Amino acid sequence: MKLRTMLVLALAAIPLTGCAALDHLFCAPDCRSETHQSSSLVNFLYPNGKAPPREDPIPELRVPLRVALAFLPAQDGGASGLDAAHREELMARIHQRFADRKFIGSITEIPDYYLKANRGFEGLEGVQRLYNVDVMALISYDQVTHTDDNDWSLAYLTIVGAYAVKGSRHDISTLVDLAVIDPATHSLVLRAGGTDTRHGNTTLIEQQRETRTASAEGFAMATNQTIENFDVALKKLEADVKAGKANVRVVNRSAARVAGGGGGGGGAIDPFWLAALGLLGATLAIRRAT
């Protein structure tokens, strides 16, 4: 009789609690689910199973750098773990944190749809030419959400349990990665990441909303850690450059332009040619005197 009463109550509660209650009717008390959202840096740079090179050539960085900042598109064309508003917020935070660095001339935020059509370094080179930038700062992420229902999930079979009993548990693990790539040499210049893990219990009615909130908070906290770690990595790179130990070659942009003649646009004359012209003038003067 108790089982029959329980089933009657469960069927009566389904129209009130929605499809989620029907799902729990067939899997309770052992309901589990997992969602995985990611955008892989390696899979983007080396699509179709290409292997990364064993050694990267040494990139030449012309400072102040013109940087392009972009989120990598979701892997396999899937939905992004972040909505547009959250992506823009995280990009703005990264932009603001590093925009005042002396060696950075500009940071341009690039929509991810520019990278969806053409993956790999070919796609990065196309964006580099289009926006006239030196390096690409690429944000990638990986987030896994596990949802489990404990023995209390039986209470979901009633309308009261769906609202009052926290029978669902979610575990969310998040990774955010920031990598600076030189498209010209296909080299990784700098990389840093951050992680976040969080847990929570919720009722059936609040499950989706609270999981979305926890997901967004996981991205925010992992981004905080990424920014801090990237800041440390930048300071180390600056110290290594000054000590001559960095695996990059840094050139002053204005000095490089002068050495190259400024493209015929009124740049300074190379000292070698000044000396040659002076020697020629002296020779002509001596001949006139004799």
Q: What is the pLDDT of residues 72-93, one digit of tens each?
A: 988 765 555 567 887 888 888 8
93 lies in the same domain as 122: yes
229 lies in the same domain as 272: no
- Three-class DSSP category at 177: strand
Residue 40, pLDDT score:
86
Residue 22, pLDDT score:
46
Owning domain of residue 41: 32-151+165-251
Whole-angstrom Cα distance, residue 239 to residue 230? 14
Ranked by mean pLDDT, which of 21-30, 82-91, 211-220, 222-231 comes out on top? Answer: 222-231
196 lies in the same domain as 67: yes
Residue 221, pLDDT score:
93
Q: In this structure, is residue 106 part of a structural domain?
A: yes
Q: In this structure, is residue 180 part of a structural domain?
A: yes
Q: In this structure, is residue 120 part of a structural domain?
A: yes
What is the DSSP code (8-state) at residue 29? T
Give 97's contacts (C-beta < 8 A, 6+ positions apart).
227, 231
Q: Phi and psi for 184 in degrees, rounded to 5?
A: -65, -40
Output the pTM of the full model: 0.70
Q: In this structure, is residue 277 part of a structural domain?
A: yes
249 with 59: CB under 8 angstroms? yes
181 lies in the same domain as 131: yes
227 lies in the same domain as 283: no
179 lies in the same domain as 76: yes
223 lies in the same domain as 285: no
169 lies in the same domain as 285: no
103 lies in the same domain as 229: yes
Question: What are the tens digits of pLDDT across the range 94-122?
Answer: 898 888 888 889 999 998 888 888 888 98
Residue 88, pLDDT score:
86
122 lies in the same domain as 203: yes
| pLDDT at residue 123 tops 50 | yes
| pLDDT at residue 23 tops 90 | no
User: How many structural domains does the chain have?
Assistant: 2
Residue 266, pLDDT score:
38
